């Protein structure tokens, strides 16, 4: 396709609700603005769903569930395969759309489209691999049949930081398993999801299987759906605080839940690590998505023997990162999602400095329009600083120095979160020993990126429940039915 303008790519996206296979205005024609985080200006207005709109979407999903569950697995998989190809073919326009609404540089947006598409390809293949079991009863008098069936109508809530991939990571297994769904994207980034809905409709997804609610009132629209009782599943990606509230709501009707919540990832560098590889991994784990990722390196622990050199070289790399609007060539540090994000990062840095941390580079906001914060490195960060226990969600790398393996393990595990940990060492015994003792659902061993559609993504403790991706991801949308056979 030829070059497409910013206004053109926004204009091509439907701005209404997608309910029962139809684009529909919100009740009363209500809308809310989608802002460009690099300028603060409105890109467009999208439909602002009401609780009544939410109920209409639930009605549509319920009406479509039985037929969709009976649809052949191969047919479900082929729909995902066609949608995968559409995502690949439309990478440039979808990446531009994402950059405009979320702020990340175009290179990262292109990477996310590829990542998002891969979930559809993976689960297209998993749709035909849903199995069961057949066994003889221990006393020989009967047989046990075990079948896997769709959970049913599913409620999906996605965040703003990966607006396409977090959608495909949930929609892919739901489609493959035979579940209808209602998805509510974050209010900051609804356009990517609306574009995805159109792609899935073009790929042949039947009416009512996917319903999209854009709204500025997430709680007001979603809580009645959770408490209604007809939906049987909730999958949420977002903060732990919101996840706790949703779990309380789900308890009323005992909804099955899977949640990918907050993180506080330790990044551990031992004296014997390959320092070049550790620096490369730190940059990836810290600066992917401008640091706005639950998997971001939140606490960088460096053993005393290499701490000075690591800090110096990390500072050089961070200080050299080009900052600007994500559509500009070469930009690595784009804007944060909104002013609240800037205020949070600023507050965490200010708190650390007031407690004795030293700023090696950055440490300030940027004058002018947009939600920009400088790439920052701090050292001598005290353990009682707020950023030691809170997600930073921005381009700030705090360095903590440690002496012993036991010391760093205690520090790394001293958090309510347990999503991902990273460690760099050349000692295979230490690598396995520390990996097993780190309290997290995932470990990056000598690598700064763990996310992969073919692997199970998820955490322990306050970082969530269940897994997404890999052969485990589809299980979240399947129930196990046991049939006792009397012979």
| Residue 200 Cα distances to 10, 207, 342, angstroms | 18, 10, 35
Detail the DSSP E strand segments found in 61-170: 133-136, 142-150, 154-157
> CA nearest 13: which of 100, 117, 89?
100
Between helices 191-202 and 73-89, what is the axis angle to 10°? Answer: 130
Active-site positions read: 260
The whole-angstrom separation of Cα 392 and Cα 336 is: 12
The whole-angstrom separation of Cα 278 and Cα 76 is: 42
Backbone angles phi, psi at 193, to 5 degrees: -70, -40
Which conformational region is residue 270 in: left (phi greater than 0), alpha (psi within -120 to 50 degrees), or beta? beta
Q: Which residue has the tokens 């974050």?
A: 186
> CA nearest 223: which of 241, 248, 240?
248
Residues 289 and 103 sit within 8 Å (Cβ to Cβ): no
The whole-angstrom separation of Cα 333 and Cα 335 is: 7
Between helices 240-253 and 218-228, what is the axis angle to 10°? Answer: 30
């Amino acid at each position: 396709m030829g070059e497409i303008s910013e206004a053109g790519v926004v204009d091509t996206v439907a701005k209404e609700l997608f309910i029962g296979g139809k684009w529909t205005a919100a009740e009363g024609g209500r809308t809310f603005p989608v802002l460009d985080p690099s300028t603060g200006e409105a890109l467009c207005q999208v439909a602002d769903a009401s609780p009544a709109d939410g109920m209409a979407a639930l009605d549509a999903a319920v009406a479509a569930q039985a037929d969709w569950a009976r649809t052949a697995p191969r047919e479900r998989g082929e729909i995902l395969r066609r949608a995968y190809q559409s995502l690949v073919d439309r990478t440039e326009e979808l990446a531009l759309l994402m950059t405009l609404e979320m702020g990340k540089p175009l290179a990262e947006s292109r990477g996310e489209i590829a990542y998002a598409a891969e979930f559809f390809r993976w689960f297209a293949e998993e749709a035909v691999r849903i199995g069961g079991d057949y066994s003889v009863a221990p006393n020989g008098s009967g047989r046990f049949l075990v079948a896997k069936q769709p959970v049913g109508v599913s409620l999906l809530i996605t965040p703003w930081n990966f607006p396409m991939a977090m959608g495909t990571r949930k929609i892919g297994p739901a489609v493959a398993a035979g579940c209808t769904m209602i998805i509510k994207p974050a209010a900051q980034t609804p356009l990517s999801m609306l574009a995805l809905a159109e792609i899935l409709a073009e790929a042949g997804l039947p009416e009512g299987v996917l319903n999209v609610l854009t709204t500025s009132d997430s709680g007001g629209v979603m809580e009645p759906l959770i408490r209604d009782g007809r939906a049987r599943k909730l999958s949420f990606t977002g903060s732990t605080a919101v996840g706790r509230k949703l779990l309380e709501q789900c308890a009323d009707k005992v909804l099955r839940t899977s949640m990918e919540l907050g993180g506080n990832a330790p990044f551990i560098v031992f004296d014997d690590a390959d320092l070049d590889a550790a620096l490369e991994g730190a940059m990836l784990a810290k600066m992917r998505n401008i640091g706005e990722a639950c998997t971001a390196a939140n606490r960088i622990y460096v053993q005393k023997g290499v701490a000075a050199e690591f800090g110096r070289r990390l500072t050089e790399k961070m200080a050299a990162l080009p900052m600007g609007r994500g559509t500009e060539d070469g930009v690595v540090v784009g804007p944060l999602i909104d002013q609240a994000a800037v205020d949070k990062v600023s507050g965490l840095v200010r708190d650390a400095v007031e407690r004795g941390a030293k700023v090696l580079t950055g440490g300030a906001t940027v004058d002018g329009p947009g939600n920009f914060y400088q790439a920052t490195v701090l050292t001598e960060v005290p353990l009682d600083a707020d950023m030691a226990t809170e997600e930073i969600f921005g381009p700030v790398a705090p360095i903590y120095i440690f002496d012993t393996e036991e010391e760093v393990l205690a520090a790394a595990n001293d958090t309510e979160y347990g999503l991902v940990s990273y460690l760099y060492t050349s000692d295979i015994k230490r690598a396995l020993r520390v990996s097993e003792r780190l309290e997290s659902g995932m470990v990056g061993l000598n690598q700064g990126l763990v996310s992969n559609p073919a692997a199970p993504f998820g955490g322990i403790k306050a970082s969530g429940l269940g897994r997404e991706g890999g052969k485990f991801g589809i299980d979240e949308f399947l129930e196990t039915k046991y049939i006792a056979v009397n012979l």
